[in-house]
Amino acid sequence: MTLQKNSKSIYVTRPLLPSLSKITKRLEAVWKSGQVTNNGDAHKQLKEQLKQYLEVENLSLFANGTMALIAGIKSLNLTGEVITTPFTFPATVEALEWNGLTPVFCDIEPRSLTIDVSKIEALITDKTSAILAVHVFGNPCDVEALDRIAKKHNVKVIYDGAHAFGMYVNGKPIGQYGDMTMFSFHATKLFQTIEGGALTYRSQSTEETLSQIKNFGLNDDGEVVLNGLNGKLNEMQAVVGIETLLLVPEERKKRQQIKEWYEQQLLSVPGIRILTLAEESYSSYQYFAIEIDENIYGMSRDALLEELAKENIFARKYFYPLCSSFRWYRDLLSAKTEQLPYANAAVKRVLVLPFYGDLAQEDIFRICNILKESCHAQVGERL
Ligand code: T4K
């Protein structure tokens, strides 16, 4: 592959970074206090601000999203099997395994790429204790249906909302659905604390258990009462979070505009389907994903990825490979390709395009032109 030497590199995302001087100013206070981790003032402040922003009553902060998910699942005392999606980042499934649970893969719904609720009940056995669903690229799962299934079968619902910060479904904040939702604050997320994450949850009594899990299993008397870990978010992360949260409304506006530009350019391109469905105030504006139908578009997703890379544009094929195809999971009964037709199709077609507030309009048009030209070239050749 020959890379263009003259054009600047464009990545799938760039971190939303507050000005360094604002961070330094806040860090001066942290340094002065001498409290740099273990539930310091910045941690407390960020926690309250996020409860307000996400409109939830219960929230705990963690060192990263994966740790939050591991701790959250542990706090629910689940056993046996958990139904989940193969079309996700490995962290989702790994969090189950860390809790000694067996993942049972369920296929996805082709429009939203989220777990197909119509296929869940057939997978429920007397060993099933929960459903772990993912709001993929900020497309919400069918939360109402999941709620109904969970009640009927007396199982818990956990959401991996790594991509769902600030999202709403039917006017209700996403963190209010299910028993628990995990948010990732990784540098690549719209709201970021470099590394970081949070759990929101229904039951207030869960807070104490989560505090113990993320602090070595210790209770207030210094007694180990469960098998804990170190999952604490520190004061530097919290300071970055406090300043980043102030930038989120403006960043959302910029991403809304970018989404519109992409849509204007790409809606009429044959063989391209836009997958980021949630609109305006309901969206998390986390990723902008498209699907390439090779038969119509005339070029495979992978070949298109290379065309973009030749121009120093680094789109990504999230999530690839499918979790059920990893060597670690592929021997599971539920991992069989024929049982996961839509997930196995999506993994060959989905492309996540560069999407962040500082992306210039000319760069978006440049990306869209490559997408259009790659399609027309093939159509032309076929005629
Ligand atoms: N569940 C789901 C559904 C998830 O998607 C994730 C994480 C998790 C759970 C776990 O949450 P955390 O434990 O991470 O909080 C990235 C992220 O590391 C990962 O957080 C994210 N999902 C996943 C979808 O994407 P990579 O391997 O693609 O990251 P990387 O380093 O290649 O970064 C992508 C691009 O972003 C780079 O090409 C350039 C840009 N970038 C990245 C970083 C880290 C920057 O410009 N600056 C940076 O500092 O995994």
145-160 pLDDT, tens digit per residue, is: 999 999 999 999 999 9
List all residues 6 or more positions away from 279 whose beta carbon is below 8 Å from its beta carbon: none
**Statement: residue 313 has pLDDT above 70:** yes
Instruction: Report, as an integer, the average pLDDT of 352-357.
Output: 98
DSSP state of 333: G
DSSP assignment of 113-133 equals -SB-GGGTGGG--TTEEEEEE
Q: 């809304």: which residue's tokens?
A: 256
Atom of ligand 1 nearest to the CA of 189: 20
Q: Which of 188, 244, 313 to mutate to test the pocket of ligand 1 (most atoms within 8 A of CB)?
A: 188
Average pLDDT over residues 132-148: 95
Whole-number CA gyration radius for the chain: 21
Closest-CA residue to 276 (of 163, 133, 159): 163
| 17 CA distance to ligand 1 middle (Å) | 15
Q: Is the pLDDT reported for residue 56 higher than 70? A: yes
Poorest-pLDDT segment among 4-8, 20-24, 148-152, 343-347: 4-8
Confidence tier at 6 by pLDDT (50, 70, 90)? low
CB neighbour list of residue 126: distance below 8 Å, 6 or more residues apart: none
Residue of minimum CA distance from atom 22 in ligand 1: 89
Ligand 1, CB cutoff 6 Å, lining residues: 11-15, 64-66, 88-89, 91-92, 134, 160, 162-163, 184, 186-188, 197, 314, 318
Q: How far is the CA of 78 from the centre of ligand 1 (A)?
A: 28
Is the model more confident about 279 or about 87?
A: 87
pTM of the prediction? 0.96
> Given this model, what pLDDT does residue 202 score?
94
pLDDT of 380 strictly over 60: no
Q: Ligand 1 centroid vs 184 CA: distance in angstroms? A: 10
Question: Would you state the pLDDT for residue 282?
Answer: 86
* Residue 296 Cα to ligand 1 middle (Å): 31
Our CA dihedral for 2, 3, 7, 13, rounded to 10 degrees, sits at: 140
Contact present, 354 and 258 (Cβ < 8 Å): no
Give the dihedral sign, CA 126/130/134/140.
Answer: positive
Q: How large is the average pLDDT for residues 57-66?
A: 98
User: Position 287: which residue type?
Assistant: Y
Pairing type for strands 10-11 and 313-314 reads parallel
pLDDT at 298 exceeding the cut of 60: yes
**Predicted confidence (pLDDT) at residue 2 exceeds the cutoff of 70:** no
Supply the pLDDT for residue 383. 35
Examine the pLDDT at 381 and tell me if it is beyond 80: no
Buried b (16+ CB within 10 A) or exposed e, 233-266: bbbbbbbbbbbbbebbeebbeebeebbeebeebb
* Bridge partner list, 169: 172
pLDDT above 70 for 133: yes
State the maximum Cα–Cα separation within the chain, in Å, rounded to a whole number. Answer: 77
Ligand 1 pocket, mutate which of 89, 93, 159, 323 (most atoms under 8 A from CB): 89
The string of pLDDT tens digits covering residues 227-237 is 999 999 999 99
First to last CA, the chain: 28
Residue of the nearest CA to atom 12 in ligand 1? 65
